[in-house]
Structure 1
Amino acid sequence: MSTTVRTEGDLGVASLLRDAGVVPVVVVSSGEEALRLADALADGGLTSMEVTFRSAAAAEGIRTVADQRPGFVVGAGTLLTPGDVERAVEAGARFGVSPATDEEVLAHAASQGLDMVPGAATASEIARARGLGAEVVKLFPAEVVGGVGLIDALAGPYPGLQLMPTGGIRAADLPRYLERPQVLACGGTWIAPRDLLAAGDFAEITRRAAEAAALVRSHREHSRKEHHHGA
C-alpha cells in the first residue's frame, strides 16, 4: 500500500532517477554555491543532484535550487531522522535518500509525501526496504559490498528490483552498472567533490558532468538498438 501523496503530473522517484542516469552526491557550503553547482551540472547535461545533510547549508542549498531552478531535480541525502525528513520537505526536495533502512524515517517520509530511497547492502536489507514500501533501493556502499556482481546475484530472487548504486563508483564504472536493467541511476561523489567546489572549479565539474552524461546517452542508445534488433 502506498501512502505517498503526489500532485498530478509529478514524477515518482523511479522515473526521476531513470531520467537522470547519474546523480551527483554533493556537500554544499551555501545556497549560492548550490545554485552555481546546479548550473554547472546542467551545462554538462545532468538534470539532478543529491544534496547531503552533511553540512549545515544543506537545506538552504536545496531550497535555493528548488526555488530558482525548478526544472532541476534536487534530492536530499543522508536523511537519518524524521527531523531530517521534515527539513528536506520544507526545503523543497523532490526525493530523499538514506544510507540505511530506518522504518521510522520511511514512515515519516511517506506521511509527508516524500519519496525515499533507503540504503541496503545485503539481500536481507533489500527485502526489508521493499517490504516497507520502498520503490527504489540505494545499494550502498556499492563497490565495497560487491558492485555489479552482487546486483547480478540478486537479480534472480528479486525480479523487478530497482536500484541506485552509490559508493565508490567512478566514471569508468558507469557502463557496467548501467548495463544492468536493475540499475536506474548511479549516485556518485566524483563529479562534484568538495575540493573542486572549495576551489570554485565549476568548469571541471561541468567537464565531469558532460563525461558522465555522454556515458549515459551512449549506453541508452546502445540499449535501444539492441532492443530494436531483438524485437
Structure 2
Amino acid sequence: MTLTPSDASQLTRGICALAPIVPVLVIDDITSARPLAEALVAGGLPALEVTLRTPAALDAIAIMAQVPGGHVGAGTLVTPEDVRAAKQAGATFGVSPGATDELLKACEEADLPLLPGAATASEAMRLLARGYDMLKFFPAETSGGAPALKAIGAPLPQITFCPTGGISPANAKSYLDLPNVICAGGSWVAAKDKIAAGDWSGIETLARDASKLGTSS
C-alpha cells in the first residue's frame, strides 16, 4: 500500500491537533529517552519529534514508541534512507526541513505520514499541487515569523501549518492565534539542562504550561 499525500496530510494534521506544541527533541543519551517521553506526555504534549541529529536518535525513537499515549515521529528526514530507518525504528510520522521528490516518494512508499517543510509561497504551492496541505513552516522566525505566515495564508487558506524554528514561550501565541496554524514546534519544553539533571518533573511542568498556549487568554 502506498500512502497518498492527502491521506498523509490528514494523518499528520490529526497528530498536530493533539496539542498546541510539538516538542522538538535532540537526544544524546539514550537513557533519557523514556523518562523524557513520559514527562512530556504526562504534561499534555503527546506528539514528539525526535530529530535525527545524534547517534542515539533511532534508538530513542524505538524506546519512546513504547510509551503509552505518545505519538513519536522522526524529524530532520532528508533522504530515503532516513525514512526507512525511522520507519523501522517505530516512528509513526516524519518531519522534514524541506521537501524533495525522492523524500516524498520514500515516505509515501513506506506509509510514513510526512510533515514536509516549506518557507515560501512557491514551496507551499508545489507541495499543495502534489496533495500535501499540512506543512511545516521552517525556519519560522528567520523566514519572517508570524506576519509572513499570516501573509502566506491569505492566498492559500487551504494549507495549514506547524511553524518551527525560533519558537519560544514569548512568541508561540502569535503563531497559534493564526487561522492557518494547527500547532508549533518548540525545543524549550525539553531544556538541555533539565534533561542532563534528570529533572523530569521540571520538564513535565514546562510541557503543561506549553499545553495551555493554544487556549484563549
Q: What is the TM-score normalised by the length of structure 1?
A: 0.86
* Equivalent residue, structure 2, for 1:200: 198
* Equivalent residue, structure 2, for 1:225: none
* Equivalent residue, structure 1, for 2:19: 20
Q: Which moved more, 1:194-203 or 1:110-119?
A: 194-203
* Equivalent residue, structure 2, for 1:209: 207
Cα distance in 1 for residues equivalent to 2:168 and 2:69:
26
* Equivalent residue, structure 2, for 1:140: 138
Q: Is residue 165–residue 185 contact of structure 2 (8 Å, CA) maintained in 1?
A: yes
Residue 139 (structure 2) pairs with residue 173 (structure 1): no
Structure with more of its chain in helix, by fraction: 1
Q: Which moved more, 1:89-98 or 1:188-197?
A: 188-197
* Equivalent residue, structure 2, for 1:119: 117
* Equivalent residue, structure 2, for 1:85: 83
Instruction: Tell me the CA shift for residue 40 of structure 1.
Output: 1.0
- Overall identity of the aligned pairs, in %: 42
Q: Which amino acid aligns with 2:33?
A: A
User: 2:172 is paired with a residue of what secondary structure?
Assistant: helix
Greater than 6 Å deviation, 4+ residue runs = none
For the pair shown, which has the larger CA radius of gyration, 1 or 2? 1
Q: Is residue 133–residue 158 contact of structure 2 (8 Å, CA) maintained in 1?
A: no
User: 1:191 is paired with a residue of what secondary structure?
Assistant: helix
* Equivalent residue, structure 1, for 2:182: 184
User: 1:51 is paired with a residue of what secondary structure?
Assistant: strand
Q: Where do residues 41-120 of structure 1 align in structure 2 (5 Å cutoff)?
A: 41-66=40-65, 68-120=66-118
Instruction: Tell me the CA shift for residue 30 of structure 1.
Output: 4.0
Q: Is residue 164–residue 185 contact of structure 1 (8 Å, CA) maintained in 2?
A: yes
Instruction: Tell me the CA shift for residue 70 of structure 1.
Output: 4.1
Which digits, 9 at most, give the CA deviation of each residue in 1:7-49, with x for residues without a partner? Answer: xxxx711011012221000011244311111111122221121
Cα distance in 1 for residues equivalent to 2:24 and 2:30:
16
Number of residue pairs matched by the alignment: 212
Show structure 2 runs of 5+ residues with no match.
5-9
RMSD: 1.8
User: 1:171 is paired with a residue of what secondary structure?
Assistant: coil
Cα distance in 1 for residues equivalent to 2:105 and 2:130:
8
Q: Is residue 43–residue 208 contact of structure 2 (8 Å, CA) maintained in 1?
A: yes
Which digits, 9 at most, give the CA deviation of each residue in 1:52-94, with x for residues without a partner? Answer: 000111111111111x214211110001100000011111111
Q: Which amino acid aligns with 1:22?
A: I
Cα distance in 1 for residues equivalent to 2:54 and 2:191:
14
Show structure 1 runs of 5+ residues with no match.
6-10, 223-231
Which digits, 9 at most, give the CA deviation of each residue in 1:129-172, with x for residues without a partner? Answer: 22233231110110111111111111221121110100001012
